[in-house]
Amino acid sequence: MKLAFHKLLSFSMAIVVLFSTMSFTISMHYCGDTLVNTSMFKDVESCGMEKAMAILPSGCSMTKPDCCKNEQMSVKGQDELKHNFDKLTITQQIFVASFTYSYINLFEIVEENISSFKDYSPPFVVKQLYKIDETYLI
C-alpha cells in the first residue's frame, strides 16, 4: 500500500512539473463571428475566403473587405524551476529561520529521563485491600 501510494504521488508530481513548464499556442480562424478552425501545434488552415481582388473592365481594381481573422492564444510555461532564495524579505527570512530551528529541535535526543517523582518513595502497603474485601480483578 505504501509503495503504491509513493508511486502515485511521484507520478502526479511529475505530471505537475510537466504541465507547469510546457508552453503551447492555440491558433483559431474566424470567418465573421463564427469559429471555423482550431489548431494547437501547427498553423491554422484558412477557410478560403481571403481578400478577393475584383478587376474591373476599365483596369481599376477594387478590393473586397476581409471578413476572416486569425487569433492566437499563447500559454507560456515556467522557464526556471529553481527559485532564488537570496531575494527573501525580512519576514520571510524570520519565518524560514524559526521554522528550521523548531523543526531541527523536534528530533533532538534527550539524554536523561526526566521524572518528577524520583525523589519520593512508594507508599508502604500495610494491608492488601483486595484480599480483605475479597474483590479480585478477572
Q: Give me the tens of pLDDT residue by residue for the chain, a chain 138 residues long.
A: 888 999 999 999 999 988 888 888 889 988 888 888 888 878 788 777 765 444 545 555 555 566 788 888 888 887 776 767 678 889 998 999 999 998 887 877 777 777 778 788 888 877 777 777 776 666
pLDDT of residue 50: 61
User: What single string gives the DSSP state of each residue in the chain?
Assistant: -HHHHHHHHHHHHHHHHHHHH--EEEEEEEETTEEEEEESSSPPPP-S----EEE-TTS-EEEPPP-EEEEEEEE---S--SPPSTT--HHHHHHHHHHHHHHHHHTPPP-S---TTTTSPPPP--S-HHHHTT----
pTM over 0.85: no
